[in-house]
């Protein structure tokens, strides 16, 4: 299920941990303090005014509420309750209380339209984002098959199991059932998410200049000697600290190359970040996951070769590649790809949001959030 929380991580896209259980559609009711009338099926009708736009396409109230009713019934009932309950309480228990009231589906939707709760505004944002992604998928000629969705769900479940979210001895089906889901239900909910993953992979392939393949992954270790970032205004002490760090890492490299000490031993002895406890092991990562100068050096190395000192904003590194390409298991590559997709997701969404010109007409004007910071990759 697509959520506005998408930028946090792709794991949030999967409905495994969200309350997305389907419930029955809300029928028309006649309500009193003492009784509730029998339910009757009825069509929900409420006008067709435009409530949002994406890529210049108008999104109408009818379209949106029909989507919620069919695809998000739990959310649909929640927002109706939020909009309708205050009015019902007022009429039944207010100063001019009535012994009973009749509320039709059209009445309920009109109340929802006139007083949209924050949840509904948020759901419209989700829907507009979904439409934006579908528009981009059509532009890229992306077709999502049942197999694509199944693969997406399987990868998310495998990652959840690897992280300990699915207890040992619990099957995927049991895990989902405990949360009110079946794989069949997820297939419908997560089709937009599978579509988004394919779009992100196209985005990454365009950035790298080739389709993603095994050679875009490697496992490496490093040794970091921290150094200050040198600028035109750096002090003499900072420049000396930088020079000392460079001299130290050159000496470490000399000892490793000569066989005096192994790379792992040197990382444990001299490393200045938390990887020192594992001999400098960075695990498996995909090209583009590290700062550019580190990426360029690491992916230019052959396994077992110790790099020359590599300078980044963190200091000076020595890098040793331990595995690359097909030497790395598919499961490990998939995990690294998932991490990369999660990191790239906000940037990708921002890139298409600029073109989509999304407008949510249910959104009341609110003051902008203060800017926390801005910037791009740094070496």
Q: What is the pTM of this model?
A: 0.72
Torsion of CA 18, 23, 27, 32, to 10 degrees: -80
Question: pLDDT of 135-174, one tens digit each?
Answer: 999 999 999 999 999 888 888 888 888 888 899 899 988 9
Question: In the chain, how long is the greatest CA-to-CA distance?
Answer: 93
| CB neighbours of residue 240 within 10 Å | 12
Question: What confidence score (pLDDT) does residue 368 get?
Answer: 46
Round to whole Å and give the CA distance between 273 and 318.
Answer: 13
Q: Which two tokens stand for residue 310?
A: 């590599």
Question: How confident is the model at residue 223, as a pLDDT?
Answer: 98
- Using one digit for the tens of pLDDT, what is the confidence trace for 194-206? 999 999 999 999 9
Specify the pLDDT at position 176: 87
Tokens of 112: 């929802």
Domain architecture of the chain: domains with CATH = 6-208 (no CATH), 216-327 (3.10.50.40)
Closest CA to 15 of 135, 152, 127: 152
Report CA 190 to chain centroid distance, whole Å. Answer: 13
CB 221 within 8 Å of CB 303: no
70-105 confidence digits (pLDDT tens): 888 889 999 999 988 887 877 778 788 788 878 888
For the segment 317-338, what is each residue's pLDDT rounded down to a tens digit? Answer: 999 999 999 999 998 998 899 8
Q: Which ranges in the chain belong to alpha helices (H)?
A: 61-71, 73-93, 105-114, 118-139, 146-162, 172-178, 183-189, 191-208, 236-257, 263-270, 292-298, 330-356
Distance CA 341, CA 350 (A): 14
C-alpha–C-alpha distance, residues 219 and 280, integer Å: 11
């Amino acid at each position: 299920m697509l959520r506005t929380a998408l930028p946090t991580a792709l794991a949030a896209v999967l409905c495994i941990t969200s309350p997305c259980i389907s419930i029955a559609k809300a029928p028309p009711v006649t309500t009193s303090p003492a009784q509730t009338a029998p339910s009757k099926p009825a069509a929900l009708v409420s006008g067709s005014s435009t409530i949002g736009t994406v890529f210049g396409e108008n999104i109408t109230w009818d379209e949106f509420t029909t989507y919620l009713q069919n695809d998000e019934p739990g959310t649909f009932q929640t927002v109706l309750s939020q909009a309708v309950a205050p009015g019902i309480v007022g009429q039944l228990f207010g100063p001019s209380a009535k012994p009973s009231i009749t509320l039709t589906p059209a009445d309920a939707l009109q109340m929802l339209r006139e007083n949209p709760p924050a949840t509904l505004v948020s759901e419209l944002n989700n829907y507009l984002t979904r439409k934006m992604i579908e528009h981009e998928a059509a532009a890229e000629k992306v077709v999502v098959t049942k197999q694509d969705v199944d693969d997406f769900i399987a990868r998310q479940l495998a990652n959840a199991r690897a992280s300990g979210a699915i207890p040992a001895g619990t099957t995927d089906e049991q895990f989902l059932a405990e949360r009110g889901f079946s794989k069949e239900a997820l297939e419908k909910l997560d089709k937009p998410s599978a579509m988004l993953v394919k779009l992100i992979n196209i985005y990454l392939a365009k950035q790298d200049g080739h389709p993603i393949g095994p050679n875009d992954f490697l496992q490496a270790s490093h040794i970091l000697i921290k150094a200050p970032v040198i600028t035109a205004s750096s002090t003499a002490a900072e420049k000396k600290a930088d020079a000392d760090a460079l001299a130290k890492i050159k000496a470490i490299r000399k000892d490793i190359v000569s066989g005096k000490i192994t790379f792992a031993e040197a990382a444990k002895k001299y490393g200045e970040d938390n990887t020192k406890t594992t001999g400098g092991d960075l695990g498996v990562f995909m090209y583009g996951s590290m700062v550019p100068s580190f990426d360029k050096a690491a992916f230019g190395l052959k396994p077992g070769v110790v790099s020359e000192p590599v300078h980044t904003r963190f200091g000076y590194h020595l890098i040793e590649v331990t595995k690359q390409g097909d030497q790395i298991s598919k499961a490990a590559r998939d995990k690294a790809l998932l991490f990369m997709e999660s990191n790239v997701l906000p940037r990708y969404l921002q890139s298409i949001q600029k073109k989509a010109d999304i407008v949510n007409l249910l959104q009341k004007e609110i003051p902008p959030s203060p800017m926390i910071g801005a910037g791009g990759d740094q070496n």
